[in-house]
Amino acid sequence: MSKLTLQRGDITRLEVDAIVNAANSSLLGGGGVDGAIHRAGGPAILEECQAIRARQGGCKTGEAVITTAGKLPAGYVIHTVGPVWGGGQRDEPKLLANCYRNSLQLALDKGLKRVAFPSISTGIYGYPIELAAPLAIETVRNFCAEHGQMEEVIFVVFSESDERLYQALLKD
């Protein structure tokens, strides 16, 4: 049975099998979590992202790719591209759920047991956290119930208000 847990803090400091990066489609780093992961992990992550770009032209919204974690304490970085919020009329919920599912599937394919997720798309991409968090938790719960091999999935949040929201949802 998979354990779903919550931590507030810096995802780049976690010693887990993989951390998930809320990437952009270019895979070249950016702001927020993406920039922090690239800075903390060093050039090895960017080099692998560039190789993926050369091979497949980046990463589409809802999809995920995996790279080394460079200097990070995690084993791997799973890069997923969340949807930009446009009011919910452009399949944003489906695309966001795909981010979580596809990231977990990559982890399973690699035999990884402990994965940490940031709150995907809720920063600069503008997805309202009160809509994104329940979707994230439900998607992860369903995936773990169906596949069973995950030991722990950690939701990593930055703010106290996000922590309260996730705590309430994880109690249900």
Catalytic residue among 17, 34, 162, 172: 34
Quickly count: other Cβ atoms within 10 Å of residue 55's Cβ.
Answer: 9
pLDDT of residue 51: 96
124: nearest Cα among 45, 40, 58, 30: 30
- Render each residue's pLDDT in the chain as its tens digit; 172 residues: 789 999 999 999 999 999 999 999 999 998 889 999 999 999 999 999 999 999 999 999 999 999 999 999 999 999 999 999 999 999 999 999 999 999 999 999 999 999 999 999 999 999 999 999 999 999 999 999 999 889 999 999 999 999 999 999 999 7
Domain annotation for the chain: domains and CATH numbers: 3-171 (3.40.220.10)
- pLDDT value of position 69: 98
Which tokens go with 167? 């705590």
C-alpha 31/C-alpha 34 separation (Å) is 6
34 counts as catalytic = yes
pLDDT of residue 148: 85
